[in-house]
Homo-oligomer: A and B are copies of this chain.
């Protein structure tokens, strides 16, 4: 699929896709049998990656942190142990974020009570 369709599929601007590709987060490829242009084609993997990026960004991970995970995910050049290490560390961070969100819920619930109870 070409960049335009990938953008529609993921509901994300084309410029952002180009930016992610330049940042090494996703990778499209030229088709050997197409010689008249140098259009870049993307596959399902790119969709998966972009969806993951969106999710991770929404919970406060930076693109640098996200790239670490994506590399552990897809780069077979990295050793098994190193891959698992990155993923385990990310799981810890995720649990920390869940804990923080739960703490925020608590705080906001108490704040709501204060507002309701005051005259």
A87 touches B (CB below 8 Å): yes
What distance in Å separates the Cβ of A49 from its nearest Cβ neighbour in chain B?
Answer: 11
A58-B116 contact given A73-B111, A87-B111, CB 8 Å threshold = no
Chain A: interface residue count, which band? 35 or more
11 residue pairs A–B, Cβ–Cβ below 8 Å: A57-B60, A58-B60, A58-B100, A84-B112, A84-B115, A84-B116, A87-B108, A87-B111, A88-B112, A94-B101, A98-B101
A59 touches B (CB below 8 Å): yes
Roughly how many angstroms separate A84 CA and B111 CA in the complex, as a whole number?
A: 9
A31 touches B (CB below 8 Å): no
Query: A interface, by DSSP: helix, strand, loop or mixed?
Result: helix
**Which A residues have a C-beta under 8 Å from some C-beta of B?**
52, 55-61, 69, 72-73, 80, 83-84, 87-88, 90-91, 94-98, 100-105, 107-109, 111-112, 115-116
A108-B90 contact given A59-B97, A100-B58, CB 8 Å threshold = yes
On whether the beta carbons of B69 and A101 are closer than 8 Å, the reply is: no
